[in-house]
Chain A
Amino acid sequence: MATTTPQKVGWSVANVVTIVLVLIPLVWIISLSFKTTGSITDPTYFPVHWTWSNYSGILTTSTFLRPLLNSVGIGAIATFVAVVLASMAAYAVARLNFPGKSVLIGVSLLIAMFPAIALATPLFNIERVLGLFNTWPGLIIPYVATGLPLGIYTLSAFFREIPWELEKAAKVDGATPFQAFVRVIAPLAAPGMVTTAILVFLFCWNEFLLAITLTATTASRTAPAALSFFTGSSQFAVPTGSISAAAVVITIPIIIFVLFFQRRIVAGLTSGAVKG
């Protein structure tokens, strides 16, 4: 498709507008995180007095560092479990014909569609009874459940693209179905698994509603939830600076992730769009 000059100009303008709209709040947060407590309410967009105190403050207290660790741990475990389960389920969906296949796909879609707020209170009660409240598994289990539909969808698209003859060849070569999966199919679906892992991890990392409902202390609270528990230097001071600094800290890994893996993320989001 040839693009004319007016088209180029039009697209450039649209792109610039979009980028500016997205960047204004982001830059604002960064700017706030460098302002001193006294100058937070300044009517200036960029800080007049630069300070690292917000960062040094949050990075020396366990009210933020421990949740950061929780976020990494819970996110990593939930991602790992979700990808392992999703790859098996997706393989079945892509390769096998079994009764109830469409029901399985339907139900997994249903889970993805369910509004999280409707689950928050029931989960809170269930987890209190089961003793899972305010523990890592208490967050990992719902995260896995929410990550699975996404994983199954993304991975089954990847599995469908692997030639079936490879599996036949592995079987004839003497592999059991499990060996064929682990040694031939799974390595070939590795790009899909990485993509799925990234998407699930981003979801876990950003999740707020369940994180704040199902945790009570820094023993299991994740970073986004911890932000809302920051307190100012006095009862009447709003900890805007600290929150901004923490927000920047937890956004950095996401930005790095996306910059590194943007191709994969796009592949994951669009896989199945053309085929399957």
Chain B
Amino acid sequence: MAEIILEHVTKRFPDGALAVDDFNLDIADGEFVILVGPSGCGKSTTLNMIAGLEDITSGELLIGGQVVNQKSPKDRDIAMVFQSYALYPHMTVRENMGFALKLAKTPRDVINQKVEEAARILDLTQHLDRKPANLSGGQRQRVAMGRAIVRDPAAFLMDEPLSNLDAKLRVQTRTEVSRLQRRLGTTMVYVTHDQVEALTLGDRVAVMRSGILQQVASPQELYDRPVNLFVAGFIGSPSMNFMSGTLEEGKLRTALGDIPIAGQLQQDLAGANVGRDVIVGIRPENFEDGALVPAENRHNGMTFPATIDVVESLGSEKFVYFSKELGAVETAELAELARDSGRAEGGAAAETVVARLDPATQITEGQDAELWVDVRAVHVFDPASGKNLTRGVSGASATITGGSGEAAPAPAQPDTGTGTTDQDSGSATTPPR
């Protein structure tokens, strides 16, 4: 049980590459914090620094109130679960789980008792005397978790522990991890590149990009009030649609039509210059089939015509895709997001808008439909800095909120095959040797 504090932590590799830049984060005792970001954003490096597997170039790392920069991993009282699980192939499950205790010279009967207790929690009792090579991927994953929990450490560190599981098992195990953390009440830092995992698991989620912490907030906060383009594009599945826009007197001109500036939007954009170019972001779920919007709600949005290219029905919802001349919205942040989600070619895809509609919609492919967009949910970003100009967002919000499971936003619930979420579900289940 301990809090983990990172103060101005920076990591520069010997070759000069800056992996983590001035990272500040206070993780409260018992909190479940997720580090999320595309590959190469420095999240694993940050975790390794907390574990003591990487040196900290500058800044301070405190675990339980003590500066541990110079302490070796064994003196930090932390347990780690690796992406490859890193089970010792020459030891049985029992020996794997008891290894740390054995090194700590714990009496044999205490080791046995703790290992058996952990095995019971993780449903591994009947596998205790098998070798890792004879276990399934899910079982190996649980052994790796078991190895961590028998220690009863100050904190758990998890480095993409679910990414080697197939999609279905991953969703199951995700719930188990969440339950386990709540049951043990131990501080947990969890690294993932999967934003669905991040949103569903974490009390708070820290979004990283190129070594820089973008925003730390509760999942709902990240979804509702992303501080910049990167967070806005990274969180949510399918991801937010971006288009260029121009601020004019009382309205926001976009490819979809003129969005009236009123209400909250008016307050947020009060200081902005008329004629200014901006990037407009609209989440797929803020669209609706014009025909299905109740009359009393219509004034909250605007309607526009669109020729539907593709309709994907998932039963509980329908995704429709349509093309528009959206204008160039090329920023480094969006380019990185596109790369990360495998849409490297950009171009054509960037011109496509995704809308998530009520399954009752009668819209079909090729139809000229009338769509409605909730203008209250529109985000406006500064194209140069990428900062969100709406929602009163300014700077990194860092409020601690509990209970993520219930607070998780709707789009995170089904593990659908769209967007950035599942890009790695096909990635090989490479078993550890």
Chain A contact residues, majority secondary structure: helix
Q: How far is the CB of B115 from chain A (nearest CB, A)?
A: 13
The answer to whether A175 and B103 touch across the interface, beta carbons within 8 angstroms, is: yes
Interface residues on B, range: 20 to 34
The answer to whether B84 and A163 touch across the interface, beta carbons within 8 angstroms, is: yes
The answer to whether B432 and A163 touch across the interface, beta carbons within 8 angstroms, is: yes
Chain A CB within 8 A of B82 CB: yes
Chain A CB within 8 A of B375 CB: no
A164-190 interface (Cβ within 8 A of B): 165-166, 168-176, 179, 183-184, 187-188
Chain B 112-148 per-residue mask, 1 if CB under 8 angstroms from chain A, else 0: 0000000000000000000000000000000000010
The answer to whether B84 and A174 touch across the interface, beta carbons within 8 angstroms, is: no
A245-264 interface (Cβ within 8 A of B): none
- Residue of B at shortest CB range from A169? B86
- Expressed in whole angstroms, the Cα–Cα distance for A97 and B88 within the complex equals 24
The answer to whether B88 and A184 touch across the interface, beta carbons within 8 angstroms, is: yes
Q: How far is the CB of A200 from chain B (nearest CB, A)?
A: 23
B73-116 interface (Cβ within 8 A of A): 73-74, 78-80, 82-84, 86-90, 99-100, 103-104
Chain A residues in 8 Å Cβ range of B87: 169
Chain B contact residues, majority secondary structure: loop
Q: How far is the CB of B65 from chain A (nearest CB, A)?
A: 21
The answer to whether A171 and B89 touch across the interface, beta carbons within 8 angstroms, is: no
**Complex partner residue of B86 from A163, A174, A179, CB under 8 angstroms:** A163
B317-368 interface (Cβ within 8 A of A): none
- Expressed in whole angstroms, the Cα–Cα distance for A184 and B88 within the complex equals 7
The answer to whether B90 and A168 touch across the interface, beta carbons within 8 angstroms, is: no
Chain B residues in 8 Å Cβ range of A171: 52-53, 72-74
Chain B residues in 8 Å Cβ range of A172: 51-53, 73-74, 78-80, 157
The answer to whether A169 and B103 touch across the interface, beta carbons within 8 angstroms, is: no
Chain A residues in 8 Å Cβ range of B100: 173-174
Q: Which of A169, A171, A184, A187 has its CB near the most chain B CB atoms (within 10 A)?
A: A169
- Expressed in whole angstroms, the Cα–Cα distance for A168 and B88 within the complex equals 11
Number of A positions contacting B (CB below 8 A)? 18
Chain A residues in 8 Å Cβ range of B48: 168
- Expressed in whole angstroms, the Cα–Cα distance for A174 and B147 within the complex equals 12
Chain A CB within 8 A of B433 CB: yes
Q: How far is the CB of A7 from chain B (nearest CB, A)?
A: 36
- Expressed in whole angstroms, the Cα–Cα distance for A168 and B72 within the complex equals 11
Chain B residues in 8 Å Cβ range of A168: 48, 51, 53, 73, 80, 82, 86
Q: How far is the CB of A186 from chain B (nearest CB, A)?
A: 10
Q: How far is the CB of A180 from chain B (nearest CB, A)?
A: 10
- Residue of A at shortest CB range from B99? A173
- Residue of B at shortest CB range from A179? B103
The answer to whether B74 and A176 touch across the interface, beta carbons within 8 angstroms, is: yes
B42-60 interface (Cβ within 8 A of A): 48, 51-53
- Expressed in whole angstroms, the Cα–Cα distance for A179 and B99 within the complex equals 11
Q: How far is the CB of B45 from chain A (nearest CB, A)?
A: 13
- Expressed in whole angstroms, the Cα–Cα distance for A220 and B162 within the complex equals 61
**Complex partner residue of B90 from A163, A165, A169, A188, CB under 8 angstroms:** A188
- Residue of B at shortest CB range from A97? B14
- Expressed in whole angstroms, the Cα–Cα distance for A168 and B45 within the complex equals 13
- Expressed in whole angstroms, the Cα–Cα distance for A166 and B86 within the complex equals 5
Chain A residues in 8 Å Cβ range of B80: 168-169, 172
- Expressed in whole angstroms, the Cα–Cα distance for A175 and B53 within the complex equals 12
The answer to whether A169 and B72 touch across the interface, beta carbons within 8 angstroms, is: no
The answer to whether B89 and A165 touch across the interface, beta carbons within 8 angstroms, is: no
Chain B residues in 8 Å Cβ range of A175: 74, 103
Chain A residues in 8 Å Cβ range of B147: 169, 173
- Expressed in whole angstroms, the Cα–Cα distance for A174 and B103 within the complex equals 7
Q: How far is the CB of A187 from chain B (nearest CB, A)?
A: 5
- Expressed in whole angstroms, the Cα–Cα distance for A248 and B52 within the complex equals 58
Chain B residues in 8 Å Cβ range of A183: 99
Q: How far is the CB of B333 from chain A (nearest CB, A)?
A: 31
Chain A 69-106 per-residue mask, 1 if CB under 8 angstroms from chain B, else 0: 00000000000000000000000000000000000000
**Would you list 28 pairs from A and B whose C-beta atoms are within 8 A, ordered by A residue?**
A163-B432, A165-B82, A165-B83, A168-B82, A168-B86, A169-B87, A169-B147, A170-B99, A171-B52, A171-B53, A171-B72, A171-B73, A172-B53, A172-B73, A172-B79, A173-B74, A173-B103, A173-B147, A173-B151, A174-B73, A174-B100, A174-B104, A176-B72, A176-B74, A179-B103, A184-B88, A187-B90, A188-B89
| Contacts A171-B73, A173-B147 supplied; 19 other A-B pairs, CB < 8 Å | A163-B86, A163-B432, A165-B83, A165-B84, A166-B88, A168-B82, A169-B80, A169-B86, A169-B88, A171-B53, A172-B51, A172-B74, A172-B79, A173-B74, A174-B74, A174-B100, A175-B103, A176-B74, A179-B103
Nearest 3 pairs of A and B residues by beta carbon: A173-B100, A169-B86, A165-B86
A: residues with CB less than 8 A from B are 162-163, 165-166, 168-176, 179, 183-184, 187-188
